[in-house]
Amino acid sequence: MPRLKPDFMTYRDLISEIDGGLIKVPAFQRDFVWDLKDTIDLLDSIYRGYPIGSFLFWESNNYLHSLRNVGDLPLPDVPEGRFVKYVLDGQQRITSLYAAVKEAVVKDRKYVVYFDLERKKFTNPTDLIHPVDEGRYVSLAKILDEVNHMATALMLASKEKQQAFNDVFVAFTEYPFPFVNIKEQPIEVVCDIFERVNTKGKKLTVVDLMVAKTWSDSFDLRVKLDDFRKKLAKSDYSEIDDISILQAISCIMVDGCRRADILGLNKEDFAKTWGEAIRAIELGIDFLRNNVGIPISRVLPFSVQIVPPAYFYYKNEFKDPSDEQARQLIRWFWRSSLSNRYDSGVETKIGDDVKQVAELVKGRTGVFDYVINLSNDKIINQNYTLKNAFCLTILSLYASKRPRNFRNNALVDLTMKNFSKYNSREMHHVFPRAHLKGDDKKLENSIANICFIPASLNKDISAKPPSDYFSEFASKNAAMAETLASHIIGDFDAWGISSNDFQKFLRKRAEATKNELARLAGISVP
């Protein structure tokens, strides 16, 4: 760790260096998030001479391709041949101060902050009556406008207001802004310092660090990730997060994906491996889609489930698995989903699982022996939500059966629909909620009462009881038995549909769902 010597800069120096393009924000910094109240508190502290904390800069002549301007404002590029100060700590404070001084628009908000010359305090413009009484309220930008400062002061009605006006000017222009410059240090050291001193306690993510550490003139990880995510979106797998992608690449390179594993990857090797690693991830996603039957990532229980199949394809030299290898990978998927495998200790568990996948590549049997609790009651009592892995596992099962339209047995298109809420038009309650009464109402959102249907069909069904709308569709759909099977639904009479027996239907569907999950996972259940 280098010795860091604190220093001070004036308001004029700070604003001048921002204006001149000499202060920039590295891309791994979070966005500007302060609201106007935070800004007013900061300005008030400066006015009163209170400490506001030090700014931390990394001064370097190394140009980071991934950087932003203060407040993402239109500022000049770094002048050629000049050192640049990258803001490691203090972005929120610097942006707030600069925006207020310049009355700049940051994230669609114009930062005009007024000083009340009578009460001698900064005021939120939303608290003022408009038009603003300029004899009492003066914006900070006008106070600090050195060209017109004297003329503005002389226009004030009393010496008391002129004195208050001048006090603000002096407070800001003479305030010693503390800062620390880190010079001649590599990006790895800079990132470590950033993590240790960040005043908000917001640690850089592994993705942030890898963006900084792997950057070169020919490789920008942020751009690579953004481009790959666009491809994922086109294939309906947009929910795969960046860290899962890095975990897959780390497992491919060093058979592990702990934070230390990822950050320890060689920069040059990482860039060289990127292309083939992405190819392996794409093949792994194709396996989940085509072999497991998960058409969209929205119902994938865990984003990190792309890692083991991607690892398999890379280590298997991009060849498809044999029948037995595919069967074991499919079992791994359902077992890891049902056991809530990656709810905690993800890095360790993925590391263990890729070791078993390595055994599969060698033609041996992988051991995916996870503790699984599966019962009818657990399924019945599981409400529909996209925030629960067990619910997503059941939705994955429903999706994998390639559900069909009740009206005509046509495939339901799952790839372009929105399943963000339980009452989304494409998510249908087999027993409509408006039809249920009493104790049945408590289980209306049971996952056993949910199925995928087209929006138009959902509208036609509305609040009709199942006995009515199913019999209506059955009279027109000659393949109704096949349609029902694609939703894991059985005979109308035996399942309580004809008699509108909600409890009977839930028990039957939960039993059938449980048995199908057990078959796919290769486990025994009561």
pLDDT digits (tens, 9 = 90+) for 181-219: 888 777 667 766 765 665 444 566 788 778 877 877 788
Q: What is the pLDDT of residue 202?
A: 52
The confidence score (pLDDT) of residue 154 equals 85
Q: Which amino acid is at 421?
A: K
pLDDT for 425 equals 42
Taking CA atoms, 412 is separated from 415, 466, 474, in Å, by 9, 19, 17
Q: What's the full length of the chain, in residues?
A: 526
* Across 381-390, 415-424, 437-446, least confident range: 415-424
pLDDT of 64 > 70? The answer is: no
Instruction: State residue 329 phi and psi, 5-degree precision.
Output: -65, -40
CB 341 within 8 A of CB 302: yes
The enclosing H or E element of 443 equals: none
What is the model's pLDDT at position 424? Answer: 40
Residues 449-467 pLDDT 10s: 999 988 788 788 888 899 9
Q: What is the residue type of 149?
A: H
pTM: predicted TM-score of the whole model, two decimal places: 0.73
**Residue 274 in tokens:** 């990127």
**Span 285-296, average pLDDT:** 96
Q: What is the pLDDT of residues 136-169, one digit of tens each?
A: 899 999 999 888 888 888 888 899 999 999 999 9
Q: Which alpha helices (H) appear in 187-344, and where do they start and end?
A: 187-197, 206-213, 221-234, 242-254, 259-263, 267-287, 307-315, 323-338
Q: Which helix (H) or strand (E) holds 499?
A: none
109 CB-side CA count, 13 A = 19
Residue appearing with tokens 């497992």: 251
pLDDT band at 110 (very low <50, low <70, confident <90, very high): confident
Query: What is the predicted pLDDT for the residue at 422?
Result: 38
